[in-house]
Structure 1
């Protein structure tokens, strides 16, 4: 086993073995505009109260906007939205040009064709090494019938497909049991 304190590139490669979803997190700027960034460090924290988090690099040019904003929206991308993900991975002056969206209840952009959107009130910000951890309370959400979610694995996009065998594992206290119970 490799010592975790040694090679950052090797650690990054090892972390790439964990498949994630792909999101674009949006917020409103102090000037009243929109900003957004591609994020795969999104996860649920709690159901009661409904909390989620995402992480943003301390070097991000968008960090100040998210730290100052009272609300943000998390847009979960579907297959076929790789170009949109790439566009928001490196925000520029023209990032929003031609992007279809509508404003949520608190003004944050809800992207067209996202399979799920969570509108959140920012609750906490924590330091996390070279990142900042932003926690939000889910105020509203919407989910649409859509193709499979966009996935990210070892530096590449992919898709998730459900097991088509129809065989359900016997209850054993695993994550599958938890998910089926809480549905």
Structure 2
């Protein structure tokens, strides 16, 4: 469930980059449409997988959707389609999260919350210092994953972040 939560966060996070869009009206429509498409895909995958593949086989599968498609009309080509889709999705997620991670300190620095070093942009408006600093920190976190003891700490922080984000999205509308 935590993984699904982070997938939906990607839809919500797109609003942070909305200031770069030509039309705010398009951003609103795109956000609603992408949320509905994502929800439809998740529900369809869940319904189909429960009807096609036994639960034990799904639990042991490395790529459950590929197993589901392998047991349908598509056959073995389904596994290739799913794994190709996973690679494309990961590339898109990487690009969007890199952009998102640099936008947060950039916007906070513009508001005076973070140091002005994060406000510097290049000639096409990319916040270069924010991009380098946030990606440097990300690389440090990836290096942490090389240690099995630090992986436990990382997983605990990930679970904490997931829980806090869930609480924040539930209570944010009611805060003054």
Question: When the two structures are superposed, what TM-score results if normalisation uses the length of structure 1?
Answer: 0.24
Name whichever structure is richer in strand by fraction.
1
Name whichever structure is richer in helix by fraction.
2
Structure number with the bigger relative contact order (C-alpha 8 A, sep ≥ 6) is 1
